Structure 1
Amino acid sequence: MKELFRNAVFRKLFLAAFTSQLGTVVGNMAMVYYIVDTYSEQPSLASTAELMYSLPTLAIFWLVGVIADRFDRKRIAVYSDWIRAGLTVLLLLFVHLDLLVLCFAVLFMRSAISKFFGPAEMGLLQGSINREQYVQASGLNQLISGMFMLLGMSLGAAAYHFVGIKGAIMIDGISFVISGLLLAWGKFPEHARLPNGKSHFRELRLIVLLKDFWSGIRYMMSNKLLLVLISGFLFFGIVNGVFSLLPVFTMKYKLSPDQYLVHSSLITVFLGIGFLLGSFLGPFLIRRYTRTTTLIAALFLASILIGGLGFADRIDVYLVLILLAGITVAPINIVLGSWLPELVPSQRIGRVNALIEPVMMLGHSLALGVISFTFPGLITVTWLHFALAICTAGVSFFYLISLPRLTANGLAAVNEA
């Protein structure tokens, strides 16, 4: 870990990603509180705001990875931050003028621009650290995710309460400026910034973009280990889709109907604590037992714990199980986050990374669609947990059948010793 932070380039990249994510969490959560407060008689508006964050994925997922692989990744990440900072100024203006439709339009554009940041940042990270440090870097990323899961709602609520929606939006915009400056000051290696050589935007044509995107899909399909790993993200999307509603549903319809808001928030807190603990544990498990063993065992253990949540009839038992589930899920994310950069060459990492989110979004949408039609008429909260547990166990067995054979055949670009 110390070696990572001795790397000045990694420090700037890490701080930039942290700052950018901090501003996004504070701004987005404050915006939800503002809409719920101001338009309390129209709760659907809060759902519409959430759609403005998720819909851009389906619109531009085919483009972001191609851009990250073809052009200067440092500039892409910097401009992503600075363009979002400019859009945040517009958002502040439209909130002041109470133009909600235009606020939604800006939220959509900001979310679309943010999609270019991830693949570019992944490429810069891959080219700026040693292969042996991927696990540690992925563990740090999970640690930050756990912190935001734990504190994100509270940070947004505190910003909205103490500085108001305009103050929260200003914090959001300043964070993007700081993140952009940190990236602009970073001296990234040439091979990390331009893995495929220099290109010019005047050369950009739709046919070229589609050709590059298709080459990324062909590469993924030709690498069986990579294909198997990314296929699992469909099931992770289903899990995320169910879990996005499960805390509220569990408390509202089963354990705490009268105080479901407080107790559903506690679920997020305990899950975040579990993520933090699992983020420290994950790298040790990978070193001790290999990625394959850690991934399969963690998924199977998570399925047992999620199934146990369905049997829980007390809030304290449910929270303890959620904490343990968080501890088991974090190593799964660390395994995948550190494995993919080793499997994919720098020239293609942007396109491959950009394919993960739409795969998860498909599973997420399928899960929400099924819940909409079946809950509560055909399926109870308890059976939602069981379905989620079956899904997680299914991914575990899928990886158990496929991964050991693929790694033993030498198809992994990583030493599983």
Structure 2
Amino acid sequence: MQKFKKIFQNTAFVKLFFANITSQLGSIIGLTAFTFYLLDRFSEQPMYATLTELMFSLPTLFLFFLVGVVADRLDRQKVAYYCDVIAALLSIILLGAIYIGWMPLVFAVLFTRSGFQKFFFPAEQGLIQGTLSKEDYGTAAGLNQMIGSMFNLFGTGLGVLVYWGIGVYGAVIIDAISFILSGILIKMGTYSKKAKSPNGEHSLRELNLKFVLTDFKDGLLYILRHKLLMVLIGGFVVLGVVNGGLTVMPIFILKYKLAPSSYEEFAIIFGIVIGAGMLIGSVMAANIVQKMKFYHLIVFGLVLGGSSVIFSSVVTTVWLFFSIMFVLALGIPFINVAIGGWLPAIIDPKMMGRVQGWISPLMMLAHSVTLGFIAIMYPTYMSIEMLYWIVGAMLLFVGMFYFIVLPRISEQKENQDSTLSTSV
């Protein structure tokens, strides 16, 4: 408690903390409400709900090479502030697009707004890094994880309640207000020059695209030269597939199979079930990560998750489906904690940023490809059960692959490190 009290005495951090919450709140409420609006209005065209998720994720694939550079080279406070201001303006434009009812315009606005939002988080995190002392980083990360878990628990339910209470237009207005509040909080903060512009002052015109692409190429070559690292990053790709599928598949199975007349109410409970499972799983994984090999945790999480996804496809009651999804949610944090703890131990600190710069777009590519696959195949060519079988089989296959490959590669890596240490 003393650490939390200390960190909240830093007024600059407090403003950033609540700016992050309000910005996330705006994104979640609007996206959730709009998804349910589409499912109501275009009940026979579930593809529209999938496309909404794609508009949120696809910008990462187009902007991944710019996001980190912009946060490092330009004034971070201005970047975060203008991201919020532009997102608020686009939310107002979105109101008009929904009123007109022209879906290409609606999706174009969603895509553009999501693109600008991608620049907010790295800029905001850079400000936090420059605002806090090193011993406070862990406390700040714990707070952000806590907020993330709360959004997992209640985000979907809050979005549905807003949609029921004031409709899709009211939800988008809340979006705009949330972004405006976040922008005001960012603008009010006082930050050191080092926190805002750690690499000196630059203008947008000075950013060299060739230099940026060269850096990303170096990161890719580093990954390809390190077998263990390459295999582990493959795990993030699998998580991208799971995240992509789980954004729409549970809603579809509730609406079109298990609870057609009350799927919205059950969607709220589903969000709570998943959030609670991931929260409990995170605590369990954190407590045993020091006692087991990383690859044991990864394989356990993949096999548990794959089995749960497959079994959930054949259930005939909502509560049994929720029970199995809770088990899936328990397993996912074991993968996250293990990979997240392993990567810093095997990556050269000089290359960490460039390697991380590849992880997010690879995950999002898998996420987007999965959503695109679902949009094309369901319900014309595949049943909802078949989608669950495919995602579950992928998790099981990768789990078995890791069970065979990771112990050997890990041992080779340890022997190499031991040899280098001895020679030095």
How does the TM-score come out when normalised to structure 2? 0.77
Of residues 99, 109, 112, the one that matches 1:109 is: 112
**Cα distance in 1 between the residues matched to 2:309 and 2:45:** 34
1:211 aligns with 2:217: no
C-alpha deviations, 1:93-126, integer Å up to 9, x for none? 4445555543332212101101112333344445
1:92 aligns with 2:106: no
Q: Which moved more, 1:57-66 or 1:108-117?
A: 57-66
2:71–2:122: 8 Å Cα contact kept in structure 1? yes
What is the Cα deviation at residue 146 of structure 1?
3.1
The 5 Å alignment of 1:5-20 reads 6-7=6-7, 8=10, 9-20=12-23
Identity in percent: 37
**Cα distance in 2 between the residues matched to 1:342 and 1:123:** 22
Look up the match of 1:3.
3
1:383 aligns with 2:386: no
- Change in 2 beyond 3 A, CA 1:263/1:164: closer
- Change in 2 beyond 3 A, CA 1:14/1:299: farther
1:174 aligns with 2:180: no
2:307–2:392: 8 Å Cα contact kept in structure 1? no
**Cα distance in 1 between the residues matched to 2:77 and 2:349:** 14
Q: Which moved more, 1:285-294 or 1:108-117?
A: 285-294
1:126–1:346: 8 Å Cα contact kept in structure 2? no
1:143–1:275: 8 Å Cα contact kept in structure 2? no
Of residues 139, 145, 150, the one that matches 1:147 is: 150
Counterpart AA for 1:68: A
**Cα distance in 2 between the residues matched to 1:255 and 1:35:** 19
1:238–1:367: 8 Å Cα contact kept in structure 2? yes
What is the Cα deviation at residue 17 of structure 1?
1.8
**Cα distance in 1 between the residues matched to 2:3 and 2:302:** 30
**Cα distance in 1 between the residues matched to 2:131 and 2:230:** 25
What is the Cα deviation at residue 274 of structure 1?
1.0
Counterpart AA for 1:50: E
- Change in 2 beyond 3 A, CA 1:300/1:185: farther
What is the Cα deviation at residue 254 of structure 1?
6.7
What is the Cα deviation at residue 203 of structure 1?
1.6
What is the Cα deviation at residue 32 of structure 1?
2.7
1:292–1:404: 8 Å Cα contact kept in structure 2? no
Look up the match of 1:268.
271
- Change in 2 beyond 3 A, CA 1:349/1:316: same
What is the Cα deviation at residue 59 of structure 1?
2.1
1:50 aligns with 2:53: yes
Look up the match of 1:321.
324
**Cα distance in 1 between the residues matched to 2:355 and 2:244:** 22
C-alpha deviations, 1:169-200, integer Å up to 9, x for none? 22211211222233334455655544434323
1:69–1:347: 8 Å Cα contact kept in structure 2? no
Of residues 184, 187, 196, the one that matches 1:184 is: 187
C-alpha deviations, 1:192-245, integer Å up to 9, x for none? 544434323232343344334334434555666654443321111222233334
**Cα distance in 1 between the residues matched to 2:71 and 2:178:** 22
**Cα distance in 1 between the residues matched to 2:231 and 2:35:** 37
**Cα distance in 1 between the residues matched to 2:227 and 2:57:** 29
Counterpart AA for 1:118: F
Of residues 379, 387, 399, the one that matches 1:393 is: 399
1:71 aligns with 2:111: no
**Cα distance in 1 between the residues matched to 2:78 and 2:53:** 28
- Change in 2 beyond 3 A, CA 1:320/1:47: closer
**Cα distance in 2 between the residues matched to 1:119 and 1:297:** 32
**Cα distance in 2 between the residues matched to 1:164 and 1:259:** 17
Look up the match of 1:277.
280
What is the Cα deviation at residue 336 of structure 1?
4.9
**Cα distance in 1 between the residues matched to 2:316 and 2:41:** 36
Q: How many residues align?
A: 411
**Cα distance in 2 between the residues matched to 1:345 and 1:127:** 23
C-alpha deviations, 1:283-313, integer Å up to 9, x for none? 4444665866655554454445445546756
Q: Which moved more, 1:163-172 or 1:360-369?
A: 360-369
The 5 Å alignment of 1:262-411 reads 263=266, 266-286=269-289, 294-295=297-298, 297-306=300-309, 309=312, 315-334=318-337, 336=339, 352-368=355-371, 376=382, 380=386, 383-384=389-390, 386-391=392-397, 393-394=399-400, 396-397=402-403, 399-403=406-410, 406=413
**Cα distance in 2 between the residues matched to 1:384 and 1:78:** 42
**Cα distance in 2 between the residues matched to 1:339 and 1:186:** 35
**Cα distance in 2 between the residues matched to 1:343 and 1:79:** 37
2:249–2:384: 8 Å Cα contact kept in structure 1? no
| DSSP-derived class of the 1:207 partner | helix
C-alpha deviations, 1:107-153, integer Å up to 9, x for none? 12101101112333344445555667666655544433332233222
**Cα distance in 2 between the residues matched to 1:346 and 1:67:** 21
Q: Which moved more, 1:150-159 or 1:288-297?
A: 288-297
Query: Which ranges in structure 1 are unaligned for 5 or more consecutive residues?
Result: 412-417
1:134–1:341: 8 Å Cα contact kept in structure 2? no
Look up the match of 2:160.
157
Q: Which moved more, 1:232-241 or 1:138-147?
A: 138-147
2:50–2:248: 8 Å Cα contact kept in structure 1? no
1:282–1:334: 8 Å Cα contact kept in structure 2? yes
**Cα distance in 2 between the residues matched to 1:277 and 1:378:** 28
Query: Which ranges in structure 2 are unaligned for 5 or more consecutive residues?
Result: 419-424
